[in-house]
Amino acid sequence: MMLEVRDLRISYRDQVVASVPTLDLEPGQVLGIAGESGSGKSQTALALMGLTRYANGVVSGSMVLDGRELLTLSPRQWRLVRGRDIAMILQSPRAALNPTMKLGALFSRTLRLHGMDKEERGPRMVQALAEVVLDAEILDRYPHEISGGQAQRFAIALVAALRVKVLIADEPTSALDVTVQAEVIDVLRNLRNRHGTAIIFISHDLSVIGELADAVMVMRDGAVVEQGSAESIFNQPTQEYTRMLLAAIPVIGGRSR
Amino acid sequence: MSDLLTVRGLRLGFGKTEVVHGVDLQVLEGPYGLGVIGESGSGKTTIGRAVLRLHPALDGSITYRGCDVLTMTRVELSAYRREVQLVFQDGDGALDPRMSVQSAIAEPLAIHRTVARGERRDRVAALLAEVGLGSDLLARYPHELSGGERQRVVIARALALEPKLLVLDEPTSALDVTVQERVLQLIERLREHRSLGYILISHNLAVIDRLSESCVVLYQGAVVERGRTRDLLTTPLHPYTRALRAAVPELGVGRPPSTSRLTDGPPQTSSLLQPAGQGCSYADRCPLAVKMCRSQTPVLREVAGREIACHRAEDSLSL
């Protein structure tokens, strides 16, 4: 197992906001985490990124990536893991991009900070952009000069260039139009197929999760309600709450006027 | 049935840039929903604002129950805006953070003086009950409410003046699916109880399907397909409508990954600066595009019981 999480508990001032008994991930596997606002899904993501401490949160349990325990890492050690081994893309990709830097400088700097040689950076950038279907001329633009879909694909290009092992995608398509959402999902699928990147895909919408996930975890009020293969969750949900989440998805042709 | 609102040849712009190129819309007397589908930048929000005369029209006409909206005087406009209300996507941005729920809902009643001061409190509580919220929320402020509660307060405020027509701009897009479901049920109930007509602006086809009788699909400021919602969404004909329909995630697993939908996205602002009339605006993304599509702008024409602006509509039928 590449990533093994056991008895993860995230708390703020002695109040537990999320607990995940088990979460396993193999290379190339996509795990969908579904839940409403306040379910603890984003808190779980922050813990996996080692960011909880910066919000004065406490994490207990164990998170092992390729045999290495992450919970005991120092902030300095975390900086080498974060972005390189485990990376995250967010609902608003533009917010993740420094608005004062051109995308080329931003891309190059990210690769440099993770120790990539100057000679290697250029070809790696061009290749990664091609993988997410972006023209290299985008490197000469600022974040505000590109569309939301392009910004999200650019963020995924960074992930591809660094050969990240685990990508956490927190509502990566919720702010996007449907056709753009479909494009971003295609890009994530390519990333997984080409580099074997494991993806934790977080969304309130199970229909989007169904596009990509091999396994699904349903969370509510900080606890895991149900988890299993995507097929079993979609076809034979055992919990009432999962059934309700599934029923809430509006379907075309469901109740037409 | 007669028209509640008729829009003809509406052209809108920002500065010298025209973003909406001659759009026709029709809303019948309620209960009736007109869906407006389109991506970011398609002009759908600007059209909604123009209906309330919050955005100036370059050309065209807007008629509400026989009255010309674009030439209304201030007094007439004030009366018009009592009957036509706008509901935004973002309940957070639409409410003044310093106003309690009570004041936010009572404000339109006070401005338009439709309800005597002494009766306002009862009216506000009744409106709150109508959108499914308890009067315990009256003293709360927007930041103390959940997203779904905020959106209900925005709807209650819009209903305060007994409108006949609502412009619902992405009313559920910021909400979780479960909360969205409850707001959709609310809109469904209100439209019947109050005989509301509305323009429902959304990029979510399932929401449009559920709440509208007819709909238009906008692409870069022009209508590319128009017809009965059920026809349009079950058998979309315009290549763009087809692409939208294909992009909707369907529940379940094991769907083969869609092919050939990845492009470098719709052209950004630069193309908006080009004059309309140089071929079909969708030609660059269209799998069916032929030479003619780049030289002649297709106009809306009737095909298979709907209107469609596509040279290859007939070929689309046989796909």
A190 phi, psi to nearest 5 deg: -60, -45
B window 137-156, beta carbon within 8 A of A: 146-147
Q: Give tens-digit pLDDT for A86-115.
A: 999 998 888 889 999 999 999 999 999 999
Query: What is this model's ipTM?
Result: 0.72
Position B208 in a domain: yes
Look up the CATH number of the domain holding residue B197: 3.40.50.300
pLDDT tens-digit profile, chain B (319 residues): 689 999 999 999 998 899 999 999 999 998 999 999 988 888 999 999 999 999 999 999 999 999 999 999 999 999 999 999 999 877 678 899 999 999 999 999 999 888 888 899 999 999 999 999 999 999 999 999 988 899 999 999 999 999 999 999 999 887 888 888 889 999 999 999 999 999 999 988 999 999 999 999 999 999 999 999 999 999 999 999 999 998 888 766 544 444 444 444 444 443 444 445 578 999 988 989 999 999 999 999 999 889 999 999 888 887 7
**Cβ contacts of A252 on chain B, cutoff 8 Å:** 205-206, 209, 233-234, 245, 248
Q: Are residues B182 and B218 in the same domain?
A: yes
**Cβ contacts of B174 on chain A, cutoff 8 Å:** none
3-state secondary structure of B284: helix
Position B263 in a domain: no
Position B141 in a domain: no
A49: closest CA among A23, A83, A15? A83
Position B42 in a domain: yes
CB contact (8 A) between residue B251 and residue A256:
no
The mean predicted confidence, pLDDT, of chain A is 93
d(CA A181, CA A196): 21
Which residues are registered as beta bridge partners of A228?
A216
Q: Which two tokens stand for residue B132?
A: 């499914």
**Cβ contacts of B243 on chain A, cutoff 8 Å:** 179
> Which residues constitute the domain of residue B86?
3-98+163-225
Position B241 in a domain: yes
Position B107 in a domain: no
d(CA A217, CA A35): 9
Which is the CATH superfamily of the domain at A3-247?
P-loop containing nucleotide triphosphate hydrolases (3.40.50.300)
CB contact (8 A) between residue A253 and residue B234:
yes
CA distance A244 to chain B (A): 8
Q: How many domains does chain B have?
A: 2
Position B146 in a domain: no
- Which residue in the set B178, B251, B268 is minimally distant from A147, CB to CB? B268
Q: What is the DSSP string of A158-210?
A: HHHHTT-SEEEEESTTTTS-HHHHHHHHHHHHHHHHHH--EEEEEES-HHHHH
Nearest CA in chain A to B183: A248
Position B231 in a domain: no
Q: Are residues B194 and B311 in the same domain?
A: no
Residue with tokens 């959304």: B202
